[in-house]
Amino acid sequence: MNPIQDTRWSLVGLWLMLCSIGLIAIYSATQGPVSEFLPAAIQSTFAKQVLVIGLSVVVMIAIQFMNPRVLILLSRIAYPIGILLMIATLWVGKEVNGAQSWIVLFGFNLQTGEIMKPILIMAAAFYISSQRELNLVKPRHFAVVTGLFALPIGLLLLQNDLGTALIFIALYPVLLFWSGFPKGMVLLLTIPPLVGYAALYHWGFGLAIGIMLTLIIISMQKPRWQVLAALAIGASVLLFIQIGLEAVLQPYQVARIRTFIQPELDPQGAGWNVLQAKTALGSGGLFGKGFMEGTQTQLRYLPEQWTDFIFCVIGEEWGFLGAGFVMMMFLVLFWTMLQMMGDQSHPYSQTVILGFMAVYFFHFLINIGSSTGLLPVIGVPLPFVSYGGSSMLTNSIMIAIALNFDRNKRSFSIYR
Amino acid sequence: MKTHDHAQVQLLRRILLGIVVVLWGALFFRLIQIQVFEHERYQPLSQKNALRLETVAGTRGTIYDKNGEILVENQPVFTVTITPIDYDTSNNQQIASILNIEIDEYMRRIERARRYSRHRPSVLAAEIPFGPYSLLEENRWRLPGIGFRQQDKRNYPSSARASHVFGYLREADLDETQASESIRLGDKIGKSGLELVYDPMLRGGLGERYYRVNALGQSLGEFTLATNERRNPPRGDDLVLTLDEEVQAYAERLMGNSKGAAVVMDPSNGALLALVSSPDVDLTRLAGRLDREYWADINTDSLTPLFNRVTSASQPPGSTLKPYMGMIGLHMGLITPETVVQNTGTYRLGRDYTDLAPPGDYILETSLAFSSNTYFFELMEQMARQGKLDEWAGYLRDLGLGQRTGIDLGSERPGIVPDSSKMDQLFGSKQWGLGDLINLGIGQGVFSVTPIQLAVSTSLLANGGQRVTPHIVSEQIEGGVSRNVLEHPTTPVEWIEEDALEPIHKGMRAAVQNSVVSWLLEVPELEIAGKTGTAQNPRGQDHGWFTGFAPLNDPKVVVVVFKENGGFGSVSAAPIGSLLIEKVLTGTTNRGYVEQHVDDYVPPAPDEDEDEETDRDIEVPQNVEDP
């Protein structure tokens, strides 16, 4: 076994590439002419990001020297510790932008929800793959997996960190899907959120989505009760939302919900950010305005341009060539990780790598969806590109663990 | 756990890859849509965001006095703006205290800004002083959401207030912007005085400029596009006045707050050295944003401070008319300098007219010196009997009385010199007779002139018959460089002969020397010639007049002083005139006792049965403009 040859360097290259693009964008977004209008704390983000990347390199290398079993053990120990930290955050945490999700640990501002991502995935994967006969339809197994997810999701909601909570919620059906939970059931689970979200736009959309998912279940030749359940769930969600919008909620509350999912309805309020983000991207055009030349960026029209709207900075200054390139990089990342998953023979490492990929993918989806005005502005970072110490470190650790498992794929075992 | 076999894993992997690619593709198409197809739509939006094309007005012209002292200039003022979305409410207390705004009021303004727009800057405090501005500006980096705008406002560094000369500016209303291409809504334009009359010269032209702004509405300075040629706004023309700052300030000090007017003029060309209408207004309080309280005050003040008495107070000239009566009498051949008229103390024509001058024989010169009414009643009676009323009125108009002088201040009233048609109009056709005309001979009755008209007619006496156009602006400086001298025509009054003026001059000189208050008026080496007058006022205390010039042999200055309800002109108006003449001719004054008299002077209470000389009390419509 040759550690150099067996390392998947393409993944390392992707990591390096995305981090570098991020640094360039953060530099422009905080050190460019715009720095005049930014508070001192924001102006130091570039230096902090460089430090965190340095720290990440050290941690990533250290992880490469660990036995996969040690990592697995660590993740099992880390789950209760992580939960305790999240609970502690509720009391002693630091509030940033309305979310109380940071805790100061050894001089670092740690976002507990972020570090929980690999821990949760690994813990859930361990539980799933360690059962001799895992049948998630069994209430006990289903309850444990659901509990593993529900605990951090509940805590994140209490912390008011909706973005990270959404990532975890989305992760849940993915892991169920992979771990042998009946496909029809997974689809059933996705009906309420998808139909509900579509119905908020218009009941017709909700209906269409509901019928589509039902048709998929029918085409998969699932039992009749699942089809009926799908119809029943879809219909009740539709009815519930329609009654809520028409009869229960006050008009101003309905307006608030509508502007959340369709910010364009309120161009002076919630829609302003989205309009500025789209303007940044659109005015960038094919080739962009040039490094530190983006007027939307440099004149402070973009909100949170060093984190949540970093993609717009790239799109404005480097144009479609730059932004499209970043998207390509992510597609290659997802493809590579799926490839790595497929190369694994152990269900545990398959589940873990898939989970990591899913985390990146949901971040990517929500972040760029928000930036392009397809999704409401929820505020999640773009992995490796956005500023953020905890998320950078966590995402890098996940890359490192995936690299480790990948190199050890032939001898992989979760037991001694 | 039931493990997936290899084929199954690959199938699931492909399904997942399919989902990823589909969703990724949706985002990618969205990106292409925004960046490639909608580029044309967003490009101008971002330009509009970052660059503001602004029509800018050039700086308004500066106004200088005759010696180059700055009288009116521009001062930058700063307005603080707030962009609520970026604003940090923990700064409330601090900013409110820097701006010196009550915290409740401050919160109201923030709330108002929020209601307007959370993302656009609104005005938080307009026209703040430089101190608070610099304090906020220095700390701008820690005051997110706070921005600034700069504007110009008028500043008056001079010791001379001259509010009626300069006039004030106000924001143009909708009608005014529609009347002129170069005035935009919100632009300030002249509303009175020189600012109004010379507005087209003073006002800067319009130009365009691009400037960069950030999302906080802060201007980041001018931005020049290589391809776009920007148009620099031409600045307004500067004006050089004939006014002498020192004389003006001194005249204002002498007039104090009592109602009245004072004019100091160069008789050779009509250049005004000082022009005071009192009381006046504080232009600095009208320069910035509208001080509603002050505006209401000055508009309702019974002393009417906004009214320019120099050009618009139209009152009977009283005895100051007598020199012109003499000139016209001589010219008509009704009298000679030697013609003697006996004053018995009363002049009897249908009723008794009092003559306060000592009884005795009077010639023209002495009748002027002692202001004997009899001489002029006699003269007026002759004119009236010979049907020469219209001829008389024509001559007076030649002298500049009863018609607008053409002063470059606007808002001038013509006054009334009655001729037969005017008498018909006032009394009814054929309803007036000799008795209604006698009073006109001593400048009473249905007769009214403005102080500036008297200054013009007095100049005629002083300069030997040249009718001047009184004016305040002598030069216009274009673009700060090229000076244009403005023409103010002087026209000779053909019928005036130098010789005929001699007895008039002597009489006026003697009037000052022989006055019962000559100790207040006389400065021997200056040879002041003058005439006081008291205009009868059926509605209250009489008005005091003084008109004079000096030195007698080579007149350099003409002074007219009008004191509304001041009582006798000799004690109310003449001492001020004397001091002003001294100030102009010697550059200083050292008669503190006269200044003391002026300061202490209180007009006597109106006399109930003063009306002896007015046989018919006709309400002369003072405010009606002549057609």
What would the 3-class secondary structure string for B145-206 be?
A: CEEEEEEEEEECCCCCCCHHHHCCEEECCHHHHHHCCCCCCCCEEECCHHHHHCHHHHCCCE
Instruction: Output the 3-class SS for chain A.
Output: CCHHHHCCHHHHHHHHHHHHHHHHHHHHHHHCHHHHHCCHHHHCHHHHHHHHHHHHHHHHHHHHCCCHHHHHHHHHHHHHHHHHHHHHHHHHCEEECCEEEEEEECCEEEEHHHHHHHHHHHHHHHHHHHCCCCCCCCHHHHHHHHHHHHHHHHHHHHCCCHHHHHHHHHHHHHHHHHCCCCHHHHHHHHHHHHHHHHHHHCHHHHHHHHHHHHHHHHHCCCCHHHHHHHHHHHHHHHHHHHHHHHHHCCHHHHHHHHHHHCHHHCCCCHHHHHHHHHHHHHHHCCCCCCCCCCHHHHCCCCCCCCCCCHHHHHHHHHHHHHHHHHHHHHHHHHHHHHHHHHHCCCHHHHHHHHHHHHHHHHHHHHHHHHHCCCCCCCCCCCCCCCCCHHHHHHHHHHHHHHHHHHHCHHHCCCCC
Q: What angle do CA B626, B468, B559 make, to 5 degrees?
A: 90
- Closest CA–CA distance from residue A190 to any residue of chain B (Å): 14
Candidate ranges A60-69, B172-181, B202-211; pick with highest mean pLDDT: A60-69
Q: Which amino acid is at A314?
A: I
Of B9, B41, B141, the CB nearest to A282: B41
Contact B144, A39 (CB under 8 A): yes
Contacts of A365 in chain B (CB under 8 A): 23, 27
Tell me the per-residue pLDDT of A22-65, one tens digit each, with 9 for 90 and over: 999 999 999 887 777 777 778 889 999 999 999 999 999 999 99
What is residue B53's DSSP assignment? E
Q: Give dist(CA B280, CA B256) in Å, integer.
A: 9
Which residue has 């099992």 as its token pair?
A: A76
Strand partners, B278: B260
- According to the model, what pLDDT value does residue B426 have? 87
Q: Is B302 helix (H, G, I), strand (E, B) or coil?
A: coil
| In B184-312, alpha helices (H) | 193-197, 199-202, 245-255, 284-287, 292-300, 309-312
pLDDT greater at residue B151 or residue B351: B351
Chain B interface test: which of A372, A377, A409, A412 (most B C-beta within 10 Å): A372
Put simply, the answer to whether A295 touches B47 (Cβ < 8 Å) is yes
Put simply, the answer to whether A299 touches B31 (Cβ < 8 Å) is no
Of A133, A299, A345, the CB nearest to B213: A299
Q: Is B497 helix (H, G, I), strand (E, B) or coil?
A: coil
B residues 2-61 near A, CB within 8 Å?
2-4, 6, 9-10, 12-13, 16-17, 20-21, 23-24, 26-28, 30-32, 34-36, 38-39, 41-43, 45-47, 49-51
- According to the model, what pLDDT value does residue B562 have? 96
- According to the model, what pLDDT value does residue A269 have? 65
pLDDT at B340 over 50: yes
pLDDT at A134 over 80: no
pLDDT band for position B216 (cuts 50, 70, 90)? low
- Average pLDDT for residues A223-246, to the nearest whole number? 86
Of B117, B212, B218, the CB nearest to A268: B117
Put simply, the answer to whether B49 touches A180 (Cβ < 8 Å) is no
In B, minimum Cα distance to A280 occurs at B46
- Closest CA–CA distance from residue B150 to any residue of chain A (Å): 19
DSSP of B281-292, one letter per residue? --THHHHSS--H
Q: What is the ipTM of this complex?
A: 0.93
Q: Give dist(CA B462, CA B551) in Å, integer.
A: 9
pLDDT greater at residue B269 or residue A201: B269
Put simply, the answer to whether B39 touches A283 (Cβ < 8 Å) is yes
Contacts of A301 in chain B (CB under 8 A): 46, 49-50, 214-215
**Percent with pLDDT over 90 in chain B:** 49
* A-B contacts at Cβ under 8 angstroms: 156
Of B405, B623, B443, B459, residue with least CA distance to B542:
B443
| In B230-345, alpha helices (H) | 245-255, 284-287, 292-300, 309-312, 322-332
In A, minimum Cα distance to B146 occurs at A37
Tell me the per-residue pLDDT of B367-420, one tens digit each, with 9 for 90 and over: 999 999 999 999 999 999 998 999 999 999 999 999 999 999 988 999 999 998
Q: Which amino acid is at B540?
A: G
- According to the model, what pLDDT value does residue B223 have? 57
Buried b (16+ CB within 10 A) or exposed e, A19-48: bebbbbbbbbbbbbbbbebbeeebbebbeb
Q: What angle do CA B50, B53, B54 make, to 5 degrees?
A: 125
Q: Give dist(CA B533, CA B544) in Å, integer.
A: 6
Put simply, the answer to whether A315 touches B47 (Cβ < 8 Å) is no
B residues 107-126 near A, CB within 8 Å?
117-120
- Average pLDDT for residues A97-122, to the nearest whole number? 83
pLDDT at A404 over 90: yes
Contact A185, A177 (CB under 8 A): no
Contacts of B51 in chain A (CB under 8 A): 295
Q: Give dist(CA B528, CA B511) in Å, integer.
A: 9
Q: Which amino acid is at B620?
A: V
Q: Is A105 helix (H, G, I), strand (E, B) or coil?
A: strand
B residues 193-222 near A, CB within 8 Å?
212-216, 218, 220
Of B66, B236, B235, B85, residue with least CA distance to B165:
B66
Of B476, B591, B484, residue with least CA distance to B194:
B476
Q: Give dist(CA B369, CA B509) in Å, integer.
A: 7
Tell me the per-residue pLDDT of B461-505, one tens digit each, with 9 for 90 and over: 999 999 999 999 999 998 777 888 888 889 999 999 888 899 999
Tell me the per-residue pLDDT of B570-610, one tens digit each, with 9 for 90 and over: 999 999 999 999 999 999 998 999 999 999 998 877 655 44
Q: How many CB atoms lie within 10 A of CB B288?
A: 14
Tell me the per-residue pLDDT of A77-103, one tens digit each, with 9 for 90 and over: 999 999 999 999 888 877 776 677 778
- Closest CA–CA distance from residue B78 to any residue of chain A (Å): 20
In A, minimum Cα distance to B7 occurs at A342
pLDDT at B427 over 60: yes
pLDDT at A314 over 90: yes
- According to the model, what pLDDT value does residue B613 have? 42
- According to the model, what pLDDT value does residue B498 have? 85
Put simply, the answer to whether A342 touches B9 (Cβ < 8 Å) is yes
Strand partners, B492: B466
- Closest CA–CA distance from residue B102 to any residue of chain A (Å): 28
Contact B553, B501 (CB under 8 A): no
Which residue has 């031409």 as its token pair?
A: B234
Candidate ranges A182-191, B297-306, B553-562; pick with highest mean pLDDT: B553-562
Contact A361, B20 (CB under 8 A): yes
Tell me the per-residue pLDDT of B510-548, one tens digit each, with 9 for 90 and over: 999 988 888 899 998 999 999 999 988 888 889 999 999
Q: Is A210 helix (H, G, I), strand (E, B) or coil?
A: helix
Phi-psi sector, A305: left (phi>0), alpha (psi -120 to 50), beta: alpha
- According to the model, what pLDDT value does residue B222 have? 59
Contacts of A327 in chain B (CB under 8 A): 24, 27-28, 31
- Helix or strand (DSSP H, E) at B111: helix B103-116
Chain A interface test: which of B11, B20, B29 (most A C-beta within 10 Å): B20
Q: What angle do CA B424, B426, B431 make, to 5 degrees?
A: 50
Of B401, B416, B459, B197, residue with least CA distance to B308:
B197
pLDDT band for position B615 (cuts 50, 70, 90)? very low
In A, minimum Cα distance to B214 occurs at A299
- According to the model, what pLDDT value does residue B622 have? 44
Put simply, the answer to whether A365 touches B45 (Cβ < 8 Å) is no
Put simply, the answer to whether B24 touches A331 (Cβ < 8 Å) is yes
pLDDT greater at residue B191 or residue B617: B191
Tell me the per-residue pLDDT of A166-210, one tens digit each, with 9 for 90 and over: 999 999 988 888 877 777 788 888 888 888 888 888 888 889 988
- Average pLDDT for residues B91-96, to the nearest whole number? 88
Contacts of B23 in chain A (CB under 8 A): 361, 365
Q: What are phi and psi of A70, to 5 degrees?
A: -65, -45
Put simply, the answer to whether A284 touches B35 (Cβ < 8 Å) is yes
Q: Give dist(CA A378, CA B408) in Å, integer.
A: 68
pLDDT greater at residue A99 or residue A66: A66
Q: Give dist(CA B561, CA B541) in Å, integer.
A: 17
Chain A interface test: which of B6, B17, B28, B31 (most A C-beta within 10 Å): B31
| Claim: this prediction has a pTM higher than 0.95 | no
Mean pLDDT (chain B, rounded): 85
Contact A123, A145 (CB under 8 A): no
- Average pLDDT for residues B103-128, to the nearest whole number? 81
- Helix or strand (DSSP H, E) at A113: helix A112-130
